[in-house]
Amino acid sequence: MKNKIAALLLSCCLTGQVQAQTDSNPIRTYRNFPIILTAQFHSLTLPFKDLKSNFANVGLGIGTEVSLNKKHNWVQQVNGVWYRNRTVGNGLLFYTQTAWRPKLSSVFYAEVKAGAGYMLAYRPVESYKPENGDWVSVGNKGKGLVTVPVGISVGYNKYSAHTYLSPFVSYQLLVLPNYNKSIPIIPETLLQAGVRIHYK
């Protein structure tokens, strides 16, 4: 009888320990396809140059991600971004990035990411082109450009079995080839502040 009681108590303790580990295990509680919301600050500049210019040009972004492995430290992200820039023109950016997300501590992480995207860059003012000896308006319609976005991030990620938020900040370099005939490659930057919303 004593042996049965001891076995029952041991079983209850082991069950409780396993349950506690499961509840705190990020592999169990991480959920794919969170909503990623970002505030964008855009600038046409070399990386880490004149950072204050970014804050004059605000935009918004939305996206999501899916894990690529069981540890969830490799993810694939998809994002859409709109930004306003009076100097060089507004833009729409759609891109995907593969991100490596190593832990800095139990709740803080870093991120290195790179990918590919497509930008629709609008002219800041009405433009003209020569046609039959005269100048004809072409408006301020956009030009489509392929881009290579490369970024770094730091964030806070405390996993929960319930809906939880994961705030982060990112700095992105956008490499734009074929910008125009005089400047074949141009760098742009995005300073991003955002949050991932993992729903229950």
Beta strand segments in 74-133, E? 74-83, 91-100, 108-121, 127-131
Indicate if the alpha-carbon torsion angle 39, 45, 46, 48 is positive or negative: negative
Of 93, 98, 111, the C-alpha closest to 65 is 98
pLDDT for position 129: 62
Q: Report the half-sphere exposure of 126 (CA within 13 A, side-chain side).
A: 5
pLDDT for position 12: 45
pLDDT for position 138: 63
Degrees, nearest 5: CA angle 89-147-104: 105
pLDDT in tens, the chain (200 residues): 545 444 544 454 444 443 444 444 544 568 999 999 999 999 988 888 877 777 889 999 999 999 999 999 999 999 999 999 988 889 999 999 999 999 999 999 999 999 999 999 887 555 556 677 666 666 567 789 999 999 999 999 998 889 999 999 999 999 998 877 788 899 999 999 999 999 98
Q: Count CB atoms within 10 A of the CB of residue 89.
A: 18
31-198: what CATH class?
Answer: mainly beta
pLDDT for position 139: 59
